[in-house]
Amino acid sequence: MKRNLTFFKRRRLNIDIGHRCALECPNCQRQRQFVRQGKKVPGYDMTMDEFYKITSFFKSINFSGQLSDPVHHPKFIEILEYCYKNKIEAIVHNASSLKPHHWYIKAFKANPLAKWVFGIDGLPEQSHIYRINQDGKKLYDLMVESKKYLKRLPVWQYLVFNYNEHNIEEAQEMARRDGVTFMILQSSRWNSENDPLRPSKKYDMSKK
Ligand code: SF4
């Protein structure tokens, strides 16, 4: 029997490289499985040696935010630079806006080929309704400014919630005006059918 090697041939990896995040998105597993149960969020900052080992095999890294935000890894700029110098694709998912402006500029310059995906769920001034603690305006301005340094267009990732479902067209227009890619996503992290953040039937794709 011929073995299917597709899984073993994959060279893209989706990882959390740390355990920190400054946001408190209510449906994130940080809150649901740990913080609200009085438990410490598990994990640690991946070491550079571990990162070198991983990238000796995987050539495209999705720095994802399942349980943390990659910008809070203390060596994230060094990691970005390493990816750039070693031709490893870097895809960065960022929603936490705590890092200062100068840190972002340094990060963009460290790897101009990185693809940045900014999680801003709604118009910048309302995104914090789900992304608790986020300064949506600051992150939006950084996303637009990143175009000066990045060779790939940044992505505005917009999760649809009941508080932002009527602003999708306005957001699309802003994205067009400011020259960033707009990506709408449907969340699957609902607490129940009656989760107060759920979009109305018209905008809830799981109901289609
Ligand atoms: S930004 Fe990501 S890791 Fe942080 S709380 Fe929100 S969903 Fe969780």
- Which atom of ligand 1 is found nearest the CA of 119? 1
Tell me, what DSSP letter sits at residue 162? T
Q: For residues 36 and 60, is the Cβ–Cβ distance under 8 A?
A: no
Instruction: Tell if the pTM clears 0.85, that is, is over it.
Output: yes
pLDDT (mean) for 54-60 = 96
Q: Please give the span between the terminal C-alpha atoms of the chain, in angstroms, as a whole number.
A: 40
Closest residue by Cα to atom 8, ligand 1, is 28
Six token digits for residue 77: 């700029």
pLDDT value of position 150: 98
Q: Pick the range with the lowest mean pLDDT from 6-20, 47-61, 104-118, 140-154.
A: 6-20
Residue 51 lies in a domain: yes
Residue 130 lies in a domain: yes
**CATH code (residue 48):** 3.20.20.70
Residue 196 lies in a domain: yes
Number of domain units in the chain = 1
pLDDT in tens, 174-205: 999 999 999 999 888 777 778 888 988 888 77
**Strand (E) or helix (H) holding 132:** none
Q: Is 21 exposed, middle or buried (0-12, 13-18, 19+ CB in 10 A)?
A: buried
Residue 41 lies in a domain: yes
In which domain, by residue range, is 198 found?
Answer: 10-207
Six token digits for residue 26: 């209510």
How far away, in angstroms, is 133 Cα from ligand 1 center? Answer: 11
